[in-house]
Structure 1
Amino acid sequence: MPVKRSQLWAGILSPLIALSGIGVAILINHAWWRLTENAISDLGRVGLPYNWVMNVPLFLSAILAIYYSFGLLNYLDASISKSGIVLFILGLIFLGGIAVFPEGTEPHYYVSWGFFICGSLGFLVTGLGISMKKNKRFGVFTVVLFTTEVLLVKWAFSRFNGVAVAEFIGIFSILSWYYAIMWILFHKPQDVTA
């Protein structure tokens, strides 16, 4: 079944909403927030004035991305690819959890890690599933992206006091894959039916 037009639009808009919320939160909190000293979650922590500026867009973004990802789930044929998308959707549920359980609540640590781990492993498994059936180049892209992400995140953890750099590496890796598969859906849909 093809991905619905509304799901594609939700997929396109979702990251833009989340990144806009993070960007505005950084501007509001620029007096104290530092990329190399803080976590992105510091911008939405409990008790911080205007924490909703980041948390509400994250939650909306998660809902839109889940809606889009269910379109991918219905579109893909192979069980490996579908398993990857289910894992990716779980990561998006954790993304919504970051907004619902902001820093300062007990579940925050777990939902934050859940987003990055499930999101990244989800795109890896989906990409490998697609490469086994249809598109070897997309599989290579996925593996190279995942490997680069892991190496850069490891470097960022060892280099900076805060985790925001590592988080942004994870986010932009996930988004690179997310928009790459969307690009293929628009231009070569037969290459992702796997």
Structure 2
Amino acid sequence: MRKSQLQAGLVAPLVAYSGILTAIYVNRSWWKLTDNAISDLGKVGLSNKWLLNVPLVVTAALAIYYAAGLLETARNSIEKAGTGMLIAGFAFLALIGIFPEGTSPHYYVSWCFFLTAGFGFLIAGVGMGLAGERGMLYFTVALFVLAWILSVWAMRTFRGVAIPEFVGALTITVWHYVVLLKFWGDEYAALRAHKD
């Protein structure tokens, strides 16, 4: 994986969460975590909708570039299939920004993002386990199950869907950074071995 791809992977979530948190702050007079969706911050007709939508598109582009490097390093067909689903999920993330709430495709691209990215990281994690990384397999499955439990609970408890959306997004982010740290560690170890 190229160093620039690792850097893109490092920055991508930071861009997304910076945009989301800025949009929440600017729209704090009406937006409520328990009553709204994250997408409400970028809906059609909102003058500052770009605060959410532009960072989502930028994040998706960075994440796709990173995940393309991840795909090149996949060691079996299951890991490749999961990483391919992640890439599709990131493409749907871009479409959330391109088709904001209030447009007809928005509902579908939102669901497709969470489903493809969520199942993508699960399948990729299983592939990593089959490649010998048993710890990654157990971590991935536990994270996936916990996310579903928390998301279902939040959807049944609160009127809005922002909390389950955050659960899904943070789960994908945590898994992503664990994988990214593994690659940074491998690169550091290779650099040390080269110097020795």
Tell me if TM exceeds 0.5. Answer: yes
Q: Residue 75 of structure 2 contacts residue 131 of structure 2 at CA under 8 Å; is this kept in 1?
A: no
Aligned-partner SS, 1:91: helix
Aligned-partner SS, 2:28: coil
Q: TM-score, normalized by length of structure 1?
A: 0.95
CA shift digits 1:111-131 (9 cap, x unpaired): 000110001000000000000
What residue is the counterpart of 2:139 in the other structure?
Answer: 141
Alignment of 1:55-94 (within 5 A): 55-94=53-92
Q: Residue 96 of structure 2 contacts residue 110 of structure 2 at CA under 8 Å; is this kept in 1?
A: yes
The residue type paired with residue 164 of structure 1 is A
**Count of equivalent residues:** 187
Give structure 1 regions of 4+ aligned residues with deviation exceeding 6 angstroms.
none
Structure 1: distance between partners of 2:6 and 2:45: 36
Measured on the aligned residues, the alpha-carbon RMSD in Å equals: 0.7
Higher radius of gyration, 1 or 2: 2
What residue is the counterpart of 1:20 in the other structure?
Answer: 18
1:188 offset after TM fit, Å? 4.0
CA shift digits 1:54-102 (9 cap, x unpaired): 1000000000000000000011121100000000100000000000000
List runs of 5+ in structure 2 lacking aligned partners: 188-196
What residue is the counterpart of 2:40 in the other structure?
Answer: 42
1:104 to 102, 114, 127: 102
Q: Does 1:121 align with 2:84?
A: no
Structure 2: distance between partners of 1:89 and 1:128: 17
